[in-house]
């Protein structure tokens, strides 16, 4: 199955079935592609951000700074994200994805469409609650994706600041929850938005 989105060709069938069986990295790749396609359908132009030597990622366009969690590495893969961090030991990933809105009142439509796309891609919504991280108030939604005996958790913190919708998306194995949840929290709390 080939899907053309925003000028990029994703060969999902090859990525998902290239080798016998599924590994955590292939499941993460599959989730990355699904999340990337969800964001491609919703977001506008690709984001640009520069990485600093101190582990901070700066986006001039969104007037934002995000600090990488300790023990994590900068990564690439989602052109809509201003920051992508990966943890080699757990194969976990955290992305910070902003989208400019015409007006703040369309944020609910944006978020609803994103969540609907995940559900349609066989992610099971486990819970959704109001959440506050530092000065940011929004919704935290947890999804799970099961395959070949591995459960992947996808955590999404969504909030609006001025006329920008923000998605902080973290995905990791269920067994890594305690190790990775603190990094997810610190990523959000480290964000400085002017």
Tens of pLDDT, residues 29-46: 445 544 554 444 444 444
**Residue 25's CB: how many other CB atoms inside 10 A?**
9
Q: How far is CA 44 from CA 79, 102, 103, 164, 178, in A?
A: 11, 11, 14, 12, 34
Can you give the pTM of this predicted structure? 0.76
Structure tokens at 148: 């070949």
Q: Pick the residue with more confidence: 106 or 5?
A: 106
152: three-class secondary structure by DSSP: strand
Percent of the chain with pLDDT strictly greater than 90: 58
- 100: Cβ contacts below 8 Å, ≥ 6 apart: 44, 163, 164
Q: Structural domains in the chain?
A: 2-193 (3.40.1000.10)
Percent of the chain with pLDDT strictly greater than 70: 73
Q: How far is CA 98 from CA 10, 44, 159, in A?
A: 22, 10, 10
Dihedral of the alpha carbons of 13, 30, 110, 85, in degrees to the nearest 10: -140
């Amino acid at each position: 199955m080939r899907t053309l989105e925003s000028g990029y060709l994703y060969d999902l069938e090859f990525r998902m079935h290239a080798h016998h069986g599924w590994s955590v990295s292939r499941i993460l790749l599959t989730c990355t592609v699904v999340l990337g396609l969800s964001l491609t359908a919703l977001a506008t132009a690709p984001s640009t951000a520069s990485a600093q030597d101190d582990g901070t990622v700066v986006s001039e366009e969104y007037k934002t700074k995000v600090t990488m969690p300790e023990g994590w590495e900068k990564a690439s893969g989602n052109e809509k994200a201003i920051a992508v961090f990966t943890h080699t030991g757990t194969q976990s990933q955290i992305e910070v994805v902003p989208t400019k809105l015409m007006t703040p009142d369309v944020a609910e439509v944006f978020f609803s469409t994103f969540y609907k796309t995940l559900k349609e891609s066989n992610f099971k919504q486990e819970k959704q609650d109001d959440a506050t991280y530092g000065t940011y108030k929004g919704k935290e939604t947890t999804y799970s994706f099961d395959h070949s005996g591995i459960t992947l958790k996808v955590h999404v913190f969504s909030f609006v600041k001025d006329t920008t919708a923000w998605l902080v998306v973290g995905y990791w194995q269920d067994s890594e929850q305690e190790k990775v949840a603190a990094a997810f929290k610190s990523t959000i709390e480290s964000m400085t938005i002017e």
